[in-house]
C-alpha cells in the first residue's frame, strides 16, 4: 500500500481488546462476548491480591496474578473455593449476584472468581498476544489483532489485495494524526517478519471490534453484499460504527505488525497482504 488514495477507508469504534477479521460466513457464527451457559465452562478463573496466602492447591499459576484451575466441574470447584475462604477468614462475605463472584475478607481485600471461558470472546483472547487466528463454532475462524481503546482505521488498497488496520496511539493534533496514518500506509512491508496467515475464501469480509456478536447485526443476509467496485461499508453492531463489511480478493493473506513513533505521535498497524500465487 502506498500513499495514493486507497480504494476505501474509514474508521471503526473500539473500546479496547482485539479487532476480528473474518470471512462473512464465519463472522455470522461469531458470538463475541455473549455469555456461555455455565455448563460450558472448563475452568475456574480467579484473581486476588492475597493469592499468596492461599494453600498451594489454590495457586496453580504461582503466588500472584490470574489463576486458572481446569476441572470436570468448575461450578462445584468455585463453590469449594468460596467455602474455604469463608472458613479460613470468618466474616468474609460472598457476592453471587453476578456471573463473576466476589469474596471480600473483613480487611477489605477481595477475590474475584468466574467460570471460564464465559464467552467465545473470552476463549479467543485467553492466550492472545499481538495477533492470532482463532477457530470456533463449526469450523469457522477469524484473525485477531490486539488494539487499544479508540478508533481503528481500515484501508483497502486499489488492488483489493491488502487490508491495513492502523491506530494512532497518541498525537498532539489532527495534523499529527494524518501524518501518522500516512506513515502506516506508506511503510514497506516486505522486510517485516510475517506473523499469521488467514484464508479469505469468497471476498466478503467483516472487520469488527471483537466483543461484538453477529447477532448484533440486524441486516438481512441478502443485504450483506460488497463488490470489487464497492469494497466497503460501515456496520452498526453493539456500538454504532464498530464494524465494517469489506470486499477483498480471495486468497491466503499474511499479517505483518509494526509500530512507529515520532516526538508528537505514535502509530501501530497490522497489514494483511495477499500472498502471490
Predicted pLDDT at 87: 97
Predicted pLDDT at 5: 73
Residue ranges per structural domain of the chain: 8-33+121-274, 38-118
Once rounded to an integer, what is the mean pLDDT over residues 96-105?
93
pLDDT tens per residue, range 179-235: 999 999 998 876 677 889 999 998 899 999 999 999 998 765 445 667 776 788 999
Predicted pLDDT at 259: 95
The three three-digit cell numbers of residue 3, written as one number: 500513499
pLDDT tens per residue, range 115-127: 999 999 999 998 8
User: Checking DSSP bridges between strand 149-156 and strand 93-95, what pairing results, if any?
Assistant: unpaired
Q: Kindly report which listed range (6-10, 74-78, 137-141, 273-277) carries the lowest average pLDDT score.
A: 273-277
The b/e string for 19-44 (b: 16+ C-beta within 10 A; e otherwise) is bbbbbbebbbbbbbebebeeeebebb
Check residues 164 and 6 and name the one with the higher pLDDT.
164
Across all residues in the chain, what is the average pLDDT?
A: 92
Predicted pLDDT at 225: 66
Answer yes or no: are the C-beta atoms of 138 and 29 closer than 8 Å: yes
Name the pTM for this structure.
0.86
pLDDT tens per residue, range 2-42: 546 788 999 999 998 999 999 999 999 999 999 998 888 99
Once rounded to an integer, what is the mean pLDDT over residues 63-79?
95
Predicted pLDDT at 107: 97
Predicted pLDDT at 277: 61
Cα 240 to Cα 188: distance, rounded to the nearest angstrom: 33
Amino acid at each position: 500500500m502506498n500513499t495514493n488514495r486507497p480504494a476505501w477507508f474509514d474508521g471503526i469504534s473500539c473500546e479496547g481488546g482485539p479487532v476480528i477479521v473474518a470471512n462473512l460466513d464465519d463472522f455470522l457464527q461469531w458470538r463475541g462476548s455473549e455469555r456461555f451457559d455455565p455448563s460450558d465452562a472448563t475452568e475456574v478463573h480467579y484473581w486476588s491480591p492475597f493469592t499468596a496466602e492461599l494453600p498451594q492447591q489454590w495457586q496453580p499459576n504461582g503466588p500472584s496474578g490470574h489463576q486458572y484451575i481446569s476441572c470436570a466441574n468448575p461450578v462445584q470447584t468455585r463453590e469449594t473455593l468460596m467455602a474455604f475462604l469463608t472458613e479460613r477468614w470468618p466474616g468474609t462475605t460472598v457476592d453471587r449476584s453476578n456471573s463473576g463472584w466476589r469474596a471480600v475478607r473483613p480487611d477489605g481485600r477481595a477475590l474475584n472468581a468466574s467460570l471460564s471461558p464465559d464467552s467465545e470472546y473470552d476463549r479467543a483472547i485467553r492466550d492472545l498476544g499481538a495477533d492470532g487466528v482463532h477457530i470456533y463454532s463449526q469450523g469457522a475462524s477469524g484473525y485477531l489483532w490486539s488494539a487499544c481503546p479508540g478508533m481503528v482505521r481500515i484501508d483497502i488498497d486499489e488492488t483489493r489485495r491488502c487490508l491495513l488496520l492502523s491506530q494512532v496511539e497518541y498525537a498532539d493534533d489532527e495534523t499529527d494524526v494524518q501524518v501518522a496514518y500516512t506513515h502506516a500506509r506508506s511503510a514497506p512491508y516486505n522486510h517485516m517478519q510475517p506473523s499469521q496467515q488467514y484464508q479469505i475464501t469468497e471476498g466478503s469480509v467483516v472487520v469488527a471490534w471483537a466483543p461484538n456478536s453477529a447477532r448484533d447485526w440486524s441486516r438481512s443476509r441478502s443485504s450483506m453484499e460488497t463488490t470489487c467496485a464497492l469494497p466497503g461499508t460501515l456496520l452498526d453492531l453493539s456500538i454504532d460504527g464498530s464494524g465494517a463489511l469489506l470486499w477483498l480478493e480471495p486468497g491466503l493473506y499474511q499479517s505483518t505488525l509494526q509500530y512507529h513513533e515520532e516526538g508528537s505521535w505514535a502509530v501501530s498497524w497490522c497489514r494483511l497482504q495477499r500472498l502471490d500465487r
